[in-house]
Structure 1
Amino acid sequence: MASVRKYTTILIVTTLLSFGFQALSDSGIGTINVPPYLPSACYGFEDKGVMIAAANEDLWDGGAVCGKYFQVTCTGGTNLGTPHPCNDNPTVTVMITDFCPPPGCQGNLDLANEAFSIIADPDAGGIQISYQQL
């Protein structure tokens, strides 16, 4: 009986923790950015690869988000084109290397083409996402 209580307690704690981690994620729009990716607002002409993204004004925080990593998950379409854009493995980790200023920025995170293509059909152009800073 004690082992049943122990495992029940572990299950309850694990479940509560998972809700806490889900609460840390935000939802929004992810858009696709095509090369060239340089210069960037964070690193100038220093190449940081292709698993990168630009942050919108709300996330930018005066550049404090530069170099931070975000886990981004495709959660659905934006009803602007591809109805089911998410790929089978719809999560990618990107580093913020740039600023996506208004009015040109149409989403929360502007993902490099290569990062966007991992989680969704690039023809979609924009997708619903959940994202969290790691």
Structure 2
Amino acid sequence: MGIEKSHLVITGTAIVMAYLMSVAFATPGIATFYTNYVPSACFGNQNNGVMVAAAGDALWNNGKVCGKMFSVRCTGPRNPVPHPCTNKTVTVKMVDHCPGCPSTIDLSKEAFTAIANPVAGIINIDYTQ
């Protein structure tokens, strides 16, 4: 095998391994959605766009997640809505706290809609920071 082919095989293998590791290290959780993004617990009246989320108590950690980016993927329904997932992943910025929420991550409605049918209201997810 030539040097170019060997490099291509190594690069391809590294990409596959990185993907598998990201899937293997995803954390299961629950997602809901909300619609009023400002003010937020992390950034006050600063607008951070619509691809944002609020951390449930399990993630909040006294605000240490503020500004962190999370990739979130729908893995299935939590209620009778059949097949809510879009098989897409969304990346959101953690901007708020959702104290007492039933979810791990409370996504903006736009972020939730990117990965699931909003009629579902609550879904199972896998997420990574």
* Residue deviations 1:70-92 (CA, integer Å, cap 9, x gap): 011111111x13111012x4211
Please report the TM-score for the alignment, with normalisation by the length of structure 1. 0.82
Residue equivalent to 1:85 = 84
Count of residues in Structure 1 that have an aligned counterpart in Structure 2 = 126
* Residue deviations 1:46-84 (CA, integer Å, cap 9, x gap): 111110000111211111100011011111111x13111
Residue equivalent to 2:112 = 116
**Equivalent position amino acid for 2:106 in 1:** D
Aligned CA-pair RMSD: 2.1
* Unaligned residue ranges in structure 2 (runs of 5+): none
Report if the CA contact (8 A) 2:22-2:128 is conserved.
no
**Which structure 2 residues correspond to residues 49-68 of structure 1 after superposition, within 5 A?**
49-68=49-68
Residue equivalent to 2:29 = 28
Residue equivalent to 2:99 = 101
Percent of aligned pairs with the same amino acid: 45
Question: 1:24 offset after TM fit, Å?
Answer: 2.3
Residue equivalent to 1:47 = 47
Question: 1:118 offset after TM fit, Å?
Answer: 1.0
In 1, Cα distance between the equivalents of 2:96 and 2:52? Answer: 8
Pair 12,129 (structure 1): closer, same or farther in 2 beyond 3 Å = same
